[in-house]
Amino acid sequence: MVLEFLDWVLIIIFLAITFGIGIWLTHNADKNLEAFFLGGRKFPWYIAGISMVATTFAADTPLAVTELVHQNGIAGNWLWWNMLAGGMLTTFFFANLWRRAKVLTEVELIELRYSGKPAMWLRGFKAAYLGIFMNCLIIGWVNLALISLLEVFFGLSAEEALWYTAAAMAFVTVYASLSGLVGIAINDMVQFLIAMTGCIILAVIVVNSEEIGGIEALKSKLPLGTLNFFPSLSNGSAEQNLTGLSLSVGAFLAFATIQWWASWYPGAEPGGGGYIAQRMMSAKNEKHAVAATLFFQIAHYCIRPWPWILVALCSILLYPELSESDKKLGFVMAIKDYMPVGLKGLLLVGFFAAYMSTISTQLNFGASFVVNDLYHRFIYPKAGQRHLVHSSRITTLLLMGVGLFATTQMTTISGVWTFIIECGAGLGLVLILRWYWWRINAWSEITATFTPFVAYAVSRYVLDLEFPDSFFLTVGSTSAAWILVTLLTPPTNKQQLQRFYDRIKPDGFWQAVRSSEQGGSSRIMKLAICWISAVAFTYSILFLTGKILLQEWQQAGILTVTTIISFGILRTFIRQTRILSDE
C-alpha cells in the first residue's frame, strides 16, 4: 500500500476544506457576471497575487522543471526564466491599464480598442479560440501530468489513471461553478501554501537522504556543467560539452531576447492577458492591480523553483535508469520513495492542490469568454444577470467535458508547449503596441493572430526547420505581415479611439486623439527604469537564493550587492511614477 491511514486522513481533510470554501462563498458569485468572473473587483493585492502564482503552479510544473534539469542542468530553466522581462513589462506598463479598462474579459477589450465588423468578428473568434480550443489544450496537458503522477505513484494503468483524473476534475468543477472566482482565489491561497510547503519538505528530505548525503555531496556527484546557471552555448550538437548540457546559440537567443515579447504563451502573454489579466481586473483598484502583478512576478521566479530544482538534481543521481521520455517522473518517484507516512500524503495533497488551482482557474476563465463574449455578445444580448450566472455554471460543466475529451487526444505535454509557443510567435508586439500606438487596428491583430499558423506550417512541413530556426522565421514573417497590413488598412474609427483614450488615458503615441504629448515620454522613461531594475532585482534574488542553497558564498555576496542596488533604484523610481500610490 503506497499510502497509510494518516496520509488518507490528510487528503480527506484537504478535500473537505476545499469543498467547504466553495460552498461557503457560493452566495458571492450569484449577483452578476462581474461577481462570478471577477469577484466583484474587490480583491486586495495579496489575494490576486497569490492566486496568480497558484494558478501557474500546476501539477505539470515540477515535472517539467525536472525534465529541463535532466536535459540541460539548472540552465535549462531559461526556457521559462526568460519570460520575466515580459512579466515585468506587464507589471509597470499594463496592470493599471487593464484595471482602468473596466472590461470583464481580455477579448472584450477588442471592441473597446477597435471599431467595426473586423473588431466584432475578432472578438468572437478569439473568445472561441482562447476560451475553448486553447483553454482545453491547457486543461489537457495539466490532466496528462496528473495521469502520469497517478500511474507512477499508485501503479495504475493509463485508463485507470484517466478515470481518477476525471473524478478529480469533476470535484474541481463543482466548487468552481458554485463559488466563481472568489472561491477559486481563496482556495488558491490555501492550495499554494500546502503545495509549496510539501515541495520544500521533499527537497530537504531528499537532499539529506543517505543516497545523496547533503548539498556538498550532491555537487560532487553531479556531471560537470549541471549546476551552471547559464547554458554552455554551442553551435550545434557536434559541439556539445562532455555532459551534453548545452543549448545552441540560436536557442538561447530565442529564449532570452525574442520569446518574451514576441510569443503569446498562457500566463506570460505580452501586454498581459489570460488569467493574469483576469486577476488584474479583479483587484480593488489600480494600485492593487500593480502590486499584485509585481508580487506575482517575484514569487513566480524566486519562491517556487528552487525546491523543484533541488529534487530534480537529486533525481539525476537517484534514477539514472529513467528513459529520456520518463526523466520528468523522477520528481514523483522521489515522493514515493523518500517521503515518510503523513508527509507523503501532504505532498500528494500538494500536487492535488496545484492541479486544482490551475484547473479551476482555466474553467472559470474559459467560461467567461464563452458566456460574456460569445453567448451574451452574439446569441442572447438581452439576457439578465441571473440568467448569465446560471449559464456560466452550465458552461463550466461543459468545458470540463471538452477538456477531458482533449486529454484523451494528447500524448505529450512538450508537443503542446511547442505548438502554443510557435503558433503565437509574432503576435506579442501587437498586443503590446495596441495600448501605446493609435495606428494599430483590428486588421493588425487579425494578421498577427493568423500568420503564425501559416508560417509554422511552412517552416515545419515545407522547409523542414526545427526550433529555433522555425521560431525566427515565424516571428520575422508575422511581424513583417502585420506591419504591412497596418500601413495598408484604414485606422480605427477616430470616435472609437477617442472613447478608448478617454477611458484608459495611455501614454505613448496618441497624437490622433490628443493635442499634446507633454509629459508622456518622461513617464514612460521612468516606468522603463522601474521595469529594468525590477528585472535585475528579481533575477538577483533568484540567483542569490540558488547560490545560498548551493553554499557558494562568494558569488552569493556579489549577488547580495546587486540585489540591494537594484532594489534601491526600483524603490526610488516607483515613488517617482506614483504607480503604487492611492491617487
**Enclosing domain of residue 537:** 526-583
Do 45 and 66 fall into the same domain?
Answer: yes
Residue 447 has pLDDT above 60, yes or no: yes
- Give the model confidence (pLDDT) of 390-436 as tens digits: 999 999 999 999 999 988 887 766 667 677 777 888 888 999 999 99
CA dist., res. 15 & res. 371, Å (int)? 29
Do 193 and 278 fall into the same domain?
Answer: yes
Average pLDDT over residues 186-198: 89
* Tally of structural domains, the chain: 3
Q: Determine if the pTM surpasses 0.85.
A: yes
- Enter the C-alpha cell of residue 28: 458571492
CA dist., res. 317 & res. 222, Å (int)? 7
Do 264 and 231 fall into the same domain?
Answer: yes
Average pLDDT over residues 182-189: 90
Do 170 and 67 fall into the same domain?
Answer: yes
Strand partners, 425: 263
Residue 487: how many other CB atoms lie within 10 Å? 9
From residue 499, how far is each of 74, 105, 193, 511 by CA, in Å? Answer: 48, 18, 42, 14
Q: What is the pLDDT of residue 237?
A: 43
Say what angle helices 158-207 and 5-24 make with each other, to 10 degrees.
Answer: 110
Do 351 and 392 fall into the same domain?
Answer: yes
- Give the model confidence (pLDDT) of 537-565 as tens digits: 999 999 999 999 999 999 999 999 999 99
499, 517, 535 - which closes a domain: 517
Average pLDDT in the chain: 88
Do 251 and 337 fall into the same domain?
Answer: yes
Do 158 and 195 fall into the same domain?
Answer: yes
Q: What's the one-letter identity of residue 225?
A: G
Average pLDDT over residues 523-528: 90
Residue 520 has pLDDT above 60, yes or no: no
| DSSP code string of 75-136 | GGGHHHHTTHHHHHHHHHHTHHHHHHH--SSTTHHHHHHS-HHHHHHHHHHHHHIIIIIIHH
Say what angle helices 158-207 and 385-408 make with each other, to 10 degrees.
Answer: 90
Do 220 and 277 fall into the same domain?
Answer: yes
Query: What CATH number has the domain bearing residue 34?
Result: 1.20.1730.10
Nearest to 360 by CA among 186, 220, 572, 194: 186
CA dist., res. 511 & res. 283, Å (int)? 30
Do 265 and 310 fall into the same domain?
Answer: yes
- Give the model confidence (pLDDT) of 266-323 as tens digits: 777 888 888 899 999 999 999 999 999 999 999 999 988 999 999 999 999 999 988 8
CA dist., res. 25 & res. 183, Å (int)? 6
- Enter the C-alpha cell of residue 260: 518574451
Do 390 and 433 fall into the same domain?
Answer: no
Range from 120-134, 219-233, 296-310, 372-386 carrying the lowest mean pLDDT:
219-233
517, 534, 552 - which closes a domain: 517
| Rama region for 240: left / alpha / beta (φ>0; ψ in -120 to 50; rest) | beta
Do 404 and 510 fall into the same domain?
Answer: no
Whether 26 contacts 179, CB under 8 Å: yes
In percent, the amount of the chain with pLDDT more than 90 equals: 54
356, 385, 410 - which closes a domain: 410
CA dist., res. 431 & res. 173, Å (int)? 31
- Give the model confidence (pLDDT) of 54-67 as tens digits: 988 877 888 889 98
Do 152 and 257 fall into the same domain?
Answer: yes
Identify the band that residue 245 occupies on the pLDDT scale cut at 50, 70 and 90: low
